[in-house]
Structure 1
Amino acid sequence: MAGAAADRPVTARSVPASRVLAVWSPDWPVTAAARAAHVPAHRPAAVFHANRVLACSAVARRHGVRRGLRRREAEARCPDLAVLATDPGRDARLFEPVAAAVEALAPGVEVVRPGLLVLPARGPVGWFGGERAAVERLIDQVALHAATECQVGVADGMFAAELAARRGRGVPVGGSAEFLAPMEVAELDRDPEVDRSDLVDLLRRLGLRSLGAFAALAEADVASRFGADAVAAHRLARGLDPRPPARRVPPEELSAAIELDPPVDRVDAAAFAARGLATRLHEALAGHGLACTRLGVHARTADSEELLRVWRCAEPLTPSGTVDRVRWQLDAWLGRGGSGTLVALRLTPEDTVAAGALQRGLWGDVGEGDERAGRALVRVQALLGPEAVLTAVPTGGRDPGERIRMVPWGEDRTAADDAAAPSARPPKDPPASWPGRLPAPSPATVPPAPVPVRLLDATGTELAPAAPDLLDGAPARIAGHGPDRGITGWAGPWPVHTRWWAAGGPGPAVRLQVVLDDGTALLLVHRDDRWEVAGVYD
């Protein structure tokens, strides 16, 4: 563990409570998939999702395979590449021996996601007499009992500890902010459950390319400009926990438990019982205005063995997310052959936050309503046809009307995302550039068809672009969009060239933003010798 603080005899009391140990197994999805498929370690391997590389082994990277490559290109670069499918349940099941090996040395293990777990540093550091000694024991323990290579990092806070583990480093006490400062803002988008690609792209375009530059902003400015999720990311960039340390202690009655009679030894039977248990847990949490961010899964076997695993989540858990994690954990316990049969199961919200962060279901419940809505929409399609029920899917485009595509209910919604993007990109990379696209914020209202209007100067003369980036006068009034309105402010024009080479293409256009005297803001587009309203801002 390069860069660790100098070893000296320490006690648990002398270790700050904020110190966190992170145990990270590199390329875990590939490791788990290769083990399940009996792929030898020397063969290059990659896990694919939607025909793109989700993760690849170090051997594959030496052959030029990279995350985000299409399958055809990856196999062209490495003909011997083992193509493996993604399976979160498999990854979680095979990661259980790693968690059990760490827990044998130190209590308080929390699984962030398969391949990464964290635990408080105070216990193992105080017991083994120093951070370096604790790290070495954990690495040896995982290698011996789980036959897996891992890297361990220690820092103040979970985010800094994870990045330290990826680099095999120890960060001195109080040095997390300095450690994070030179790193790229793309590090904020590593969690697969929290998509911050838009935020990262925006920070880059603003010139904030490092975590230190982002952390230097005032928190009030971040909250007013970017929103709540950016505030949490800003805390991470400063080396702090995602949420302030003051949290509500969940009441004891919020735990949901069930006695399994008869005892179950099959994952499907246990998962069926867990589904109802998850619903009860979330209903109890909703009644107290809470949402769960750390879930404790407890089980008791017929031999009176007590099993416990804690799952930490970046976002408040939904009922389906709870069921997934319980199923993964039950699969790990029952699949390893040593847990026998289960006679009791209990779910405990180890940590809670205000339920405002939880996205409610369609009718205000905790998720079951979405399933009922889905069944109802399928019945409507059976009566009226599949094209009768459409859902809006964000997609790539330059104009507001191009940014949404209507997809029949039940079809793959991700297939429409950036379907016509000018360049291929990995699923988690920042959005494609779309040269000339309208920057955020987008108009709140987009008419089904552009509304023709006339743009007038103070004398009533109709204005037109004298050049792609120059008007032949100052806009003063607009006519044709309701009553004639005065213009109090304007910006532009900006030229847009789209498919100018194609016969019948839209051709060149000019955008202009205007603010009317009643406070309404419009996006105007000049195309084919006329002005049109392409969008209305709030």
Structure 2
Amino acid sequence: MSAAPRLLVLWCPDWPVVAAGAAAGTPPLAPAAVFSGNRVVACSASARRAGVGRGMRRRDAQSRCPELVVHPHDPDRDARLFEPVAAAVERLAVGVEVVRPGIVAVPVGGAAGYFGGEAALAEQLIDEVEAAAGVECQVGIADGLFAATLAARRAAVVPAGGAAEFLAPLDVAELNQPGDDRGELVELLRRLGLRTLGAFAALAERDVAGRFPRDAVVAHRLARGLSERPPLRRALPPDLTVTEEFEHPLHRIDEAAFVAKTLGERFFAGLARHGLACTRLAIVAVTEAGEERVRVWRCAEPLTARSTADRVRWQCEGWLTARDRPTAGIVRLRLDPEEVVGGQALQLRLGSMGRDADAAERAGRALVRIQGLLGPDAVVTPVLDGGRGPGERVRLVPWGEPRVPATADRPWPGRLPAPSPSRVPPEPPPAVVLDAVGDVVRCTERGELGYPPATVAVDGGPPRRVLGSAGPWVVHPPPPAKGPASARVQVVLEDVDGDVALLLLATVGENPQWTVEGVYD
């Protein structure tokens, strides 16, 4: 086991809303929310009092709070405006680490001794941030980043060695912090009756590793008040640092953004070659006048190439736009891995690095941009859900909404057995199904065919001989809907290019209308 270091975490509540309001110049007390993919990602206290909550759809949020101020999600803005807060903390304590915009962590030891104790340090930092940056904040102190972050949300100082006791009564949902994506694990634990962090922590680690998803081991360590991962007990290669020097100093944000992308890919690729991933990144900038700026970013999850580039870009934007910006342009940027873990902690495809590692993330961002231009229903993804026929089982869900089946666990009498057709035409073509004497094949209400099908002609084409068939499966319309029942039949047809298997659908009765509902490849 590795004991977690004692940290002070300073938390600015609802920071995305605070930053968006400051950038837009809206009243600070007005109810406001930040939206991404038509969902609330953060909202102000006044909006929460009106019934707005994280994850709520935009129309639902505005129906509960008509005067709600709507802001777009902009991580670059949040990080850029957070730099003055980090700089204010750095004036009183060394070793400042930005966890994410809105949260900074500081080692407690030295600063607490200088200011006369942990409580005195917390008061000094709150006063300094409110005076220098003009924002409200809360401070928590505990062993480990996870416990200290939860302590900050409660403005608590947890005694040394008391992290596990502090965490034990808290809801297991606390494991699903922003950026951690542990929602499925939380739901699984609740279904098992493990509703508190203490109940989860009481499980043996070997049982968690063998019976839960991979990320559960990290979550289990957090619930026990330990550090996220055991220390890496190996010497680090000397060539992990990445440095870039510029012939023309960087003065503009767009220049920094271009450089950040290249540096992020180089840094990630260098770590991946040694089987490592970074969880604490130091960004060092040197200006033409010899000034040096340093900022450390701490990450709960190992950095990818894209997330590394994001932090470099955010930090450069913060430095270049702050009131105490450097007096000259940046001529050198250096990335130092302050803390690394084994590369298996990165849950990516084996061998993925550089551009390929972040393909899914880039695609997700592009889809959100399209939604911003065309509306939330312009981008949808399929979910396999409940239903009787193959077309009925596919439900389209707007991008960003939970892709969870809603009716898959219902009985669905008359459901088509596996396997399902590989192709379902959007407009089912008509078919003529005849028996051996040339009469149209009919299906009775009891689910019986008058005679077995002998030939099938699709969409006016030539009739083809039926080599085999299965069914029918009769489906009655659910109440209160009215109309004739329908029947599905699987057939294999003789063809010069190879046998073809089709799923046919017909109305039950004297005058059946046959169509091709699916094709089996």
Partner of 1:295: 281
Out of 327, 334, 337, the position equivalent to 1:346 is: 334
Out of 3, 14, 29, the position equivalent to 1:27 is: 14
> Are residue 158 (structure 1) and residue 145 (structure 2) matched?
yes
Partner of 1:193: 179
CA distance in 1, matches of 2:393, 2:245: 48
Residue 393 of structure 1 contacts residue 417 of structure 1 at CA under 8 Å; is this kept in 2? no
The structure-2 alpha-carbon separation of the partners of 1:229 and 1:402, relative to structure 1 and needing over 3 Å to count, comes to: farther
1:24-173 to 2 correspondences below 5 Å: 24-173=11-160
Out of 409, 418, 422, the position equivalent to 1:436 is: 409
SS in 2 for 1:160: helix
Partner of 1:465: none
The total of aligned residue pairs comes to 406
The structure-2 alpha-carbon separation of the partners of 1:36 and 1:120, relative to structure 1 and needing over 3 Å to count, comes to: same
The structure-2 alpha-carbon separation of the partners of 1:225 and 1:286, relative to structure 1 and needing over 3 Å to count, comes to: same
SS in 1 for 2:225: coil
CA distance in 2, matches of 1:56, 1:189: 17
CA distance in 2, matches of 1:254, 1:54: 35
- TM-fit CA distance, 1:64: 2.4
CA offsets per residue over residues 13-43 of structure 1, 9 Å max, x none?
Answer: xxx9721101101000100000000011121
Residue 211 of structure 1 contacts residue 237 of structure 1 at CA under 8 Å; is this kept in 2? yes
Partner of 1:214: 200
Residue 384 of structure 2 contacts residue 395 of structure 2 at CA under 8 Å; is this kept in 1? no
CA distance in 1, matches of 2:485, 2:144: 52
CA distance in 2, matches of 1:203, 1:215: 11
The structure-2 alpha-carbon separation of the partners of 1:268 and 1:131, relative to structure 1 and needing over 3 Å to count, comes to: same
> Are residue 448 (structure 1) and residue 435 (structure 2) matched?
no
The structure-2 alpha-carbon separation of the partners of 1:27 and 1:402, relative to structure 1 and needing over 3 Å to count, comes to: farther
1:227-246 to 2 correspondences below 5 Å: 227-246=213-232
* Alignment root-mean-square deviation, CA: 3.3
The structure-2 alpha-carbon separation of the partners of 1:217 and 1:269, relative to structure 1 and needing over 3 Å to count, comes to: same
Residue 232 of structure 2 contacts residue 340 of structure 2 at CA under 8 Å; is this kept in 1? no
Out of 206, 212, 221, the position equivalent to 1:226 is: 212
The structure-2 alpha-carbon separation of the partners of 1:399 and 1:103, relative to structure 1 and needing over 3 Å to count, comes to: farther
CA offsets per residue over residues 241-260 of structure 1, 9 Å max, x none?
Answer: 11113454533321010111
- TM-fit CA distance, 1:275: 2.1
**Aligned partner of 1:254: which letter?**
L
Residue 248 of structure 1 contacts residue 352 of structure 1 at CA under 8 Å; is this kept in 2? no
- TM-fit CA distance, 1:304: 1.1
CA offsets per residue over residues 106-155 of structure 1, 9 Å max, x none?
Answer: 11111111111111111211111211111111111111111111100001
CA distance in 2, matches of 1:372, 1:102: 36
- TM-fit CA distance, 1:279: 2.1
**Aligned partner of 1:241: which letter?**
S
Partner of 2:310: 324
1:374-523 to 2 correspondences below 5 Å: 395=383, 397-398=385-386, 414=399, 417-418=402-403, 436=409, 447-449=419-421
TM-score where L is the length of structure 2? 0.71
> Are residue 266 (structure 1) and residue 266 (structure 2) matched?
no
Partner of 1:358: 346
CA distance in 1, matches of 2:331, 2:119: 41
The structure-2 alpha-carbon separation of the partners of 1:171 and 1:404, relative to structure 1 and needing over 3 Å to count, comes to: farther
**Aligned partner of 2:301: which letter?**
E
CA distance in 1, matches of 2:353, 2:387: 36
Out of 284, 288, 291, the position equivalent to 2:270 is: 284
- TM-fit CA distance, 1:414: 2.5
**Aligned partner of 1:215: which letter?**
A
CA distance in 2, matches of 1:108, 1:506: 72
Partner of 2:513: none
SS in 1 for 2:239: helix
Q: Which moved more, 1:58-67 or 1:125-134?
A: 58-67
**Aligned partner of 2:339: which letter?**
D
Task: Give 5+ residue unaligned stretches, structure 1.
Answer: 1-15, 376-391, 423-433, 439-445, 451-497, 508-538
**Aligned partner of 1:289: which letter?**
G
> Are residue 202 (structure 1) and residue 188 (structure 2) matched?
yes
Residue 393 of structure 1 contacts residue 405 of structure 1 at CA under 8 Å; is this kept in 2? no
**Aligned partner of 1:25: which letter?**
C
CA distance in 2, matches of 1:405, 1:296: 47
Residue 267 of structure 1 contacts residue 330 of structure 1 at CA under 8 Å; is this kept in 2? yes
- TM-fit CA distance, 1:354: 1.0
**Aligned partner of 2:330: which letter?**
L
CA offsets per residue over residues 293-328 of structure 1, 9 Å max, x none?
Answer: 111111011221111111111222111111111111
Residue 395 of structure 1 contacts residue 416 of structure 1 at CA under 8 Å; is this kept in 2? no
**Aligned partner of 1:436: which letter?**
D
The structure-2 alpha-carbon separation of the partners of 1:369 and 1:229, relative to structure 1 and needing over 3 Å to count, comes to: closer
- TM-fit CA distance, 1:406: 9.9
TM-score where L is the length of structure 1? 0.69
Residue 188 of structure 1 contacts residue 233 of structure 1 at CA under 8 Å; is this kept in 2? yes
Out of 281, 289, 314, the position equivalent to 2:300 is: 314
Residue 24 of structure 1 contacts residue 152 of structure 1 at CA under 8 Å; is this kept in 2? yes
Task: Give 5+ residue unaligned stretches, structure 2.
Answer: 364-379, 412-417, 423-476, 487-521
CA distance in 1, matches of 2:29, 2:202: 45
Q: Which moved more, 1:164-173 or 1:43-52?
A: 43-52
- TM-fit CA distance, 1:369: 3.6
CA distance in 2, matches of 1:350, 1:404: 49
The structure-2 alpha-carbon separation of the partners of 1:96 and 1:206, relative to structure 1 and needing over 3 Å to count, comes to: same
**Aligned partner of 1:208: which letter?**
L
CA radius of gyration, larger in: 2
CA offsets per residue over residues 321-379 of structure 1, 9 Å max, x none?
Answer: 11111111111111225223111111111111111222446x8241324689999xxxx
Partner of 1:524: none
**Identity %, equivalent residues:** 54
